[in-house]
Amino acid sequence: MGKPTGFLEFERSTIPDRSPLERIKDWKEIHDHGDESALKNQAARCMDCGVPYCHTGIDISGMASGCPINNLIPEFNDLVYRDRWDEALTRLRKTNNFPEFTGRVCPAPCEGSCVLGVIEPPVTIKNMESAIIDRGWADGNMTPNPPAERTGKIVAIVGSGPAGLSAADQLNQAGHTVTIFERADRPGGLLMYGIPNMKLDKTEIVERRIDLMKAEGINFEMNVFISESSDWTPSRLRKEFDAVILCCGATAPRDLPIDGRDAKGVHQAMEFLTANTQHQLDNQFNGTNPALNATDKEVVVIGGGDTGTDCVGTSIRQGCKNVIQLEIMPMPPMERASNNPWPEWPKVYKMDYGQEEANATQGADPRSYLVMTKAILKDEEGNVKGLQVVDITWGKNDAGQFVPQETEGSQRTINAQLILLAMGFLGPEQKIIDQFSLETDARSNVKADHDVYTTNVEGVFAAGDMRRGQSLVVWAINEGRGAARECDRYLMGTTQLP
């Protein structure tokens, strides 16, 4: 423990983001870099409490509590406090293949379960993680480290999101030859096209890591669809590779089956976000917008999660007239409710970067809570012109289920020329499941037990959102590491992978 009284002496202070009115002018990351002396003070706040819930990585009440990849948080905090940054990097990399990703996009369940958080604001763990890896890159410590020997075993990984990348990294370190197949034009999956550039830089952060993995011997095959109608069929994969790990994500979006859904200008959030990121990358962020854009439009985002926030931030940068975000759930309380005790994830009100930017440009948080969309309105040419909404409360029906109940007299119309559906995902796409003849669970995910990852098909493993359903990037890394461990055991009879 670096400083026993640190949590008494220093108040929580996060690394500041760039100001909203400045950052909405470009697609650069919103984050600034912290002062090292200030970071050391923040590291000193870690109590090395003896029961560090921050790295437990368990589910409580259906939510992550602590770090799902079991980062050794008190240890790297102590090392930063003692100015031993290289050792802190080594300690961080023992459990996390990609701290530069999680340090930017993870919601930090570790902070939600920080013991200090019981009485004070928690330790700035996420900032510390990002600072350690960013300094590692800046100091030249992140260099290729290919395995000294190869086992002769070859593994195919389908999907280059965080689960696929972490599985590949682990298996490559074990000496296996790994090829990642990705249907998009660039690797990264969710990291590349599901998260906007201002939240996770694609060239300086994602592609930098991909280039390192390539230098370590991992092969990437882009624009490849694994299907019976392509060159790479499921049977060919199983024949030419010693094992296959499927990390295809949970990419089937939840839709909104209401009147007017077929209106022109109603799009799934990922369609909108992907089009924008691909356009910006192809045009080197020169300020132009893709064909699918929010420029000069009144935008309504339906859904209050991270993807909805990304749609808000993207719409503002594209120059929308205004943006409204509709949330069917109630507004969270300002502090933990009595039924949401520590170390559960704190379900409290906060403004993420997109809402901060809308607040700065429009004068208010763009979210409206307890609102349900009844119908989408079209003009004579079939273009969306608005939507009918109604306020609701949640109550139990005759079967005892909580259902939305409309508030009488609250129905109204909201103008919109672009509606973005950000209501989450139902599970993996069915086509590849059928073509591999995989069994599924009751939620349509691939059936493969956690910590085992084996499917009903010999030599085929599944991990990430495809197996567990829509979840966090850090859970995907957990699953990729676990699938790599069990795949290595399958190939070699034993494993030394964690």
Return per-residue pLDDT of the chain as tens, 498 residues.
668 899 999 999 999 899 999 999 999 999 887 788 899 999 999 987 888 999 899 989 888 899 999 999 999 999 999 999 999 999 999 999 999 999 999 999 999 999 999 999 999 999 999 999 999 999 999 999 999 999 999 999 999 999 999 999 999 999 999 999 999 999 999 999 999 999 999 999 999 999 999 999 999 999 999 998 889 999 999 999 999 999 999 999 999 999 999 999 999 999 999 999 999 999 999 889 999 999 999 999 999 999 999 999 999 999 999 999 999 999 999 999 999 999 999 999 999 999 999 999 999 999 999 999 999 999 999 999 999 999 999 999 998 899 999 999 999 999 999 999 999 999 999 999 999 999 999 999 999 988 899 999 999 999 999 999 999 999 999 999 999 999 999 999 999 999
Rounded Cα distance between 196 and 281, Å, is 11
Cα-based distances in Å from 273 to 39, 153, 195, 270: 33, 38, 8, 5
CB 18, CB 313: distance < 8 Å: no
Nearest to 252 by CA among 473, 433, 413: 433
Q: Which candidate, 43, 111, 41, places its Cα nearest to that of 75? A: 43
pLDDT score for 4: 87
- Cα pseudo-dihedral 456, 459, 464, 465, rounded to 10: -40
CA trace torsion 232, 236, 240, 243 (10° rounding):
90
Of 221, 251, 257, nearest to 236 by C-alpha is 221
Please say whether the beta carbons of 226 and 181 come within 8 A: yes
CA distance 383 to 49: 58
Going by C-alpha positions, the residue among 83, 106, 79, 108 that lies closest to residue 92 is 79
How many Cβ atoms are within 10 Å of 140's Cβ, its own excluded?
7
Q: Which contacts of 89-95 are long-range, i.e. CB under 8 A and separated by 24 or more positions?
A: 89/132, 89/133, 89/135, 89/136, 89/141, 92/129, 92/132, 92/133, 94/498, 95/67, 95/69, 95/70, 95/71, 95/498
| pLDDT score of 268 | 98
Q: 384-396 and 371-378 as β-strands: parallel, antiparallel, unpaired?
A: antiparallel
Of the candidates 343, 360, 302, 393, the residue with the CA atom closest to the CA atom of residue 63? 343
Radius of gyration (Cα) for the chain, nearest Å?
23
pLDDT for 9 equals: 94
Question: Rounded to an integer, what distance in angstroms lies between the CA atom of residue 185 and that of residue 178?
Answer: 19
Residue type (1 letter), 410: S
Backbone angles phi, psi at 374, to 5 degrees: -95, -40
103 with 133: CB under 8 angstroms? yes
Q: Which amino acid is at 436?
A: F
Q: How far apart are CA 39 and CA 427, in angstroms?
A: 39
Do 110 and 71 contact (CB within 8 A), yes or no?
yes
pLDDT of residue 287: 81
CA distance readout (Å), 135 to 87, 116, 176: 12, 26, 30
Could you tell me the sign of the dihedral formed by the alpha carbons of 430, 435, 436, 437, in that order? positive
CA distances from 49 to 6, 53, 60, 64, 124 (A): 12, 9, 20, 20, 15
Residue 272 φ/ψ, nearest 5 degrees: -65, -50
Query: Can you give the pLDDT at residue 286?
Result: 87
* pLDDT value of position 344: 93
- What domains lie within the chain, and their CATH numbers? 6-138 (1.10.1060.10), 154-251+426-492 (3.50.50.60), 255-423 (3.50.50.60)
